[in-house]
Amino acid sequence: KTAFGSVGRRIPYQTVHVINQDGESLGNMHRAEALKLMDQHDLKLVLLRENVEPPVYRLMTGQQIHEEQLKRAEKKKSSTKSEMVQKELSFSSAIAKNDLDTKTKQIAQWIEKKYHVKITIRQAK
């Protein structure tokens, strides 16, 4: 889906359903009327639902658009965090102390970030 924001003056539909900035339905109107209303109240038109007949647009202030974009970004961010991230490290049984310390610090950082850590220990030759 495209980014949420003002459509400007580009409305490809003849008739649109308009909702005012308070969420009240203003009914179906010709796009010229919607643009006139937008100019009179110094608001922006935002497409809410495109796949209905007629498409639904909402009159919003710049601040309302910005807040809605922040909400959507936060929602998207929280949904992607639910995916489990797994990290894997492989050790040799003959690992040097310095290398072991470095890898241990890396594991601690991953655990702080709530990653799942898988450790494999291989036998030295």
Tell me what the mean pLDDT of segment 85-112 comes to: 90
Q: Any idea where the domains of the chain sit in the sequence? A: 15-79, 86-122
Q: Is there a shared CATH topology between the 15-79 domain and the 86-122 domain?
A: no
- Per-residue pLDDT tens over the stretch 87-98: 898 888 888 999
Q: Which of 50, 71, 58, 2 is nearest to 26 (CA)?
A: 58
pTM for this entry:
0.56
User: With b meaning 16 or more CB within 10 Å and e meaning fewer, what string describes 8-21?
Assistant: eeebeeeebbbbee
3-state SS track over the chain:
CCCCCECCCCCCCCEEEEECCCCCEEEEEEHHHHHHHHHHHCCEEEEEECCCCCCEEEEECHHHHHHHHHHHHHHHHHHHHCCCCEEEEEEECCCCHHHHHHHHHHHHHHHHCCCEEEEEEECCC
Q: What is d(CA 42, CA 46) in angstroms, rounded to the nearest whole number?
A: 13
| Band of residue 105 on the pLDDT scale cut at 50, 70, 90 | very high
CATH class of the domain defined by 15-79: alpha beta
Fold for 86-122, please state it: Translation Initiation Factor IF3 (3.30.110)
Query: What average pLDDT does the chain have?
Result: 84
